[in-house]
Amino acid sequence: MSLTTPSTVRELPPTTWGRVRQSRRTADKAMRIITASFTIIAISVLFWILGMLIVKGLGGLSVATFTQITPGPGSEGGGLANAIVGSIILTFLGIVVATPIGVLAGTYLAEYGKGSKLADLIRFINDILLSAPSILIGLFVYVILVEPLGGYSGWAGGVALGIIAIPVIVRTTEDMLRLVPGPLREAGSALGAPPSVVITSITWKAAKAGMVTGILLALARIAGETAPLIFTALNNNFWFSSNLMGGVSNLPVTIYMFASAPYENWQQLAWAGSLIITMSILLLSIIARRIVRGAK
Amino acid sequence: MTAVTDPMSLPAARPQRKTPKGTFDLIFRNASFASALFVLLLLAGIMLSMIIGGWPAFRAMGLGFITGSQWDTQADVYGAWPAIAGTLSTAFIALLIGVPLSLGIAVYLTQLAPVWFKQPVSTAIELLAAVPSIIYGMWGLFVFVPLFAAYVQVPLSNIVEGMPIVGTILYSRSPSGLGILTAGIILAFMIIPFIASIVRDMLDQIPSVLRESAYGIGATTWEVVRHVLVPQAGVSIIGAVMLGLGRALGETMAVTFVVGNANRLSGSIMDPGSTIASRIANEFNEALGLQMNALIGLGCILFFVTFVVLVIARILVARVKTF
């Protein structure tokens, strides 16, 4: 048998057969490099910020940071004790306001409101509230709580933070309840349990981890909020009154006011506060993410 | 007669057991319904309080409240245009920088990253969203602004000085590092995690058969992304971008730190300006009378702008989720 090509077969140009054209290869390679470097840029911004906080914040951290109250203008030393405690109280108040409402609303959307037009509307509005600017919520609480009550208060701050937390909790509660398989509910109903009992002792129990995550995520979301607090709880350089009326000191607004102040110890404290608040929030978010991944 | 002998009917058992549980059932149902309605009321409440609180300013200034560019607390004249323009231009710059970065990150995470690398990188990108706004402000003001002034604003101003158009837009009269462009860059990094994670989820949802068949006919990764994935996820990408826009429009603390808080309108994006949110945050605690109403009126404008953007975003994102 002869191996020579018969003259009737046209020879294909070698460049187009069996290989990828150079321009396509280049475009592909360029895309790979560009997307990878975009990812590196974003991640390095995160580490840049964290590095900045550690470098500038660690120096300001000491026992006094946690035991002494914020210093007045021009006075030496001082700490963040009142701001830290105030922040914890305000955040806790926000979660206390938001949890029952958020969990019940999420339950309604997942369990009772299936297929109803009203539930669809509420879900839609909730999604909008989820990304609504927090400054508007601060203004809203100022109009309904601060102005009528005649002054800034910790209560107004707590309510503002609660309103920001509600949509987060509604959303995660609904999502998590939807993951609970239907047969579990049917088994409960078959035993004669009314819907409320099925929900509270079967569905909620099955979705517990996810629902706790929602609350943790809400906590992480509101702990660093600054804008709404400027209009509601404001700040205070001393220990706030125990009935939470008048300004209540808190970390975010303290950082805001101290950061660009002319006193060196104020700036130092602002950095220490930034480090404390960011690390707590990142830790909370990482824990919440772990739980979600475990639940799924 | 038939009813009594029917073994399936147990008339005595039902009411006995139902009464106490029935009450709880009703209360629970109504409580959840009321909570769900509360969400609806919240939005209505925010809208109403903005309109009512801002009304005196709208009435006093008329249309000039939106179009006027003078903001003078001494003369009680309030025009929101510089703040509106600042809000729109910072958000636009944020999208211009943030959207390509987010899309690149989403493509990298879904198509190119090695499996072991994907999870930690995803988490790191999402953590960018967890960093509080005020921390971005600190980073912007104390780290980014000095670098930006020294290595971008000064050299760039020297180059573009005297050029037509570019010489106006990019020239900084006082290269302090603060300004509209700086705020836009910081905002870009703040919206990346939101856009990138939605687009990543959308790309993950596209059936892999589509990708595989494109690879099967010899497409490169870039061609698969360009001609298969992007058209499939197209509408939701726009939705994700709109969500990012909603964030950028209302972002307060970070912008307040770096935008410069100037009340006048400048033709250059290197010059200090202000946004609606930064103006409110800056002046609120000293505001009295009509100025307070004007600030809430600014909030009202911000509310309606972000509301429209977010409604469009949610509709676009939701539509694709069901395909």
The answer to whether residue B133 scores a pLDDT higher than 80 is yes
A–B CB contacts, 8 A cutoff, strictly below: 261
- Tell me which chain B residue has its CA closest to the CA of residue A151: B285
* Res B97 pLDDT > 90: yes
> Which residue spans within B76-224 are E strands per DSSP?
77-78
Rounding to the nearest 10 degrees, give the CA dihedral for residues A213, A214, A219, A221.
120
Residue B4 Cα to chain centre, angstroms: 66
DSSP per residue, chain A: ---SPPTTSPPPPTTTSSS--HHHHHHHHHHHHHHHHHHHHHHHHHHHHHHHHHHHHHTT-SHHHHHSPPPPTT------HHHHHHHHHHHHHHHHHHHHHHHHHHHIIIII-TT-HHHHHHHHHHHHHHTS-HHHHHHHHIIIIIHHHTS-BHHHHHHHHHHHHHHHHHHHHHHHHHHS-HHHHHHHHHTT--HHHHIIIIIHHHTHHHHHHHHHHHHHHHHT--HHHHTTT---SSPPPTT-BS----HHHHHHHHHT-S-HHHHHHHHHHHHHHHHHHHHHHHHHHHHHHHH-
Comparing CB atoms, the residue among A113, A135, A196 nearest residue B280 is A135
Average confidence score pLDDT of chain B: 86
CA-closest candidate to residue B321, choices A124, A296, A285: A124
B300 pLDDT tier (thresholds 50, 70, 90): very high
pLDDT tens digits for range A16-36: 555 667 888 888 899 999 999
Q: Are A143 and B138 in contact (CB < 8 Å)?
A: no
Judged by average pLDDT, the poorest of A15-24, A124-133, A223-232, B155-164 is A15-24
Nearest to B303 among A25, A104, A136 (CB): A136
Distance from CA of A89 to the nearest CA of B (A): 18
How far apart, in Å, are the Cα atoms of A231 and each of A90, A172, B60, B207?
14, 28, 24, 48
| Token pair of B191 as six digits | 């919206």
pLDDT surpassing 80 at residue B173: no
Contacts of B121 in chain A (CB under 8 A): 39, 43
Residues of B in contact with A277 (CB under 8 A): 132, 135
If you average pLDDT over residues B223-229, what whole number do you get?
Answer: 89
Spatial contact of B255 and B277, defined as CB atoms under 8 Å apart: yes
Q: Residue B121's pLDDT is what?
A: 92
Q: Report DSSP state, residue B170.
A: S
Q: Work out the average pLDDT over A57-65.
A: 85
pLDDT given at position B256: 92
Of all residues in chain A, the one with the smallest CA distance to B125 is A43
Angle at which helix A81-107 crosses helix A208-223, to 10 degrees, equals 140
Query: Are A113 and B36 inside 8 Å of each other by CB?
Result: yes
pLDDT reported for residue B323: 40
Q: Looking at residues A72-84, what average pLDDT do you find? A: 84
pLDDT-based confidence at residue B322 (cuts at 50, 70, 90): very low
Higher-confidence residue of A264 and B167: namely A264
CB contact under 8 A, A127 and B42: no
Q: What is the mean pLDDT of residues A70-85?
A: 84
Determine the average pLDDT of the residues in A261-290: 90
Length of chain B, please?
A: 323
**Contact at CB, B135 and A196, closer than 8 angstroms:** no
ipTM: 0.87
Which residues, other chains included, contact B35 with Cβ-Cβ below 8 Å and sequence gap of 6+? A100, A101, A102, A104, A105, A108
A173-193: pLDDT as tens digits: 999 999 899 899 999 999 988
pLDDT digits (tens, 9 = 90+) for A197-247: 999 999 999 998 889 988 999 999 999 899 899 888 888 777 777 777 878
Closest partner residue to A49 (CB to CB) among B135, B299, B314 is B135
Within 10 A of B3 (CB to CB), how many other CB atoms are there? Answer: 7
Smallest Cα distance from A5 to chain B, Å? 27
CA distance A76 to chain B (A): 23
With beta carbons under 8 A apart, name residues in chain B contacting A175. none
Residue of A nearest to B18 (CA): A194
Of the two residues B145 and B264, the one the predictor is more confident about is B145
Nearest to B253 among A43, A131, A227 (CB): A227
What's the pLDDT at B125?
A: 92
Task: For B213-245, give the DSSP string.
Answer: HHHHTT--HHHHIIIIIHHHHHHHHHHHHHHHH
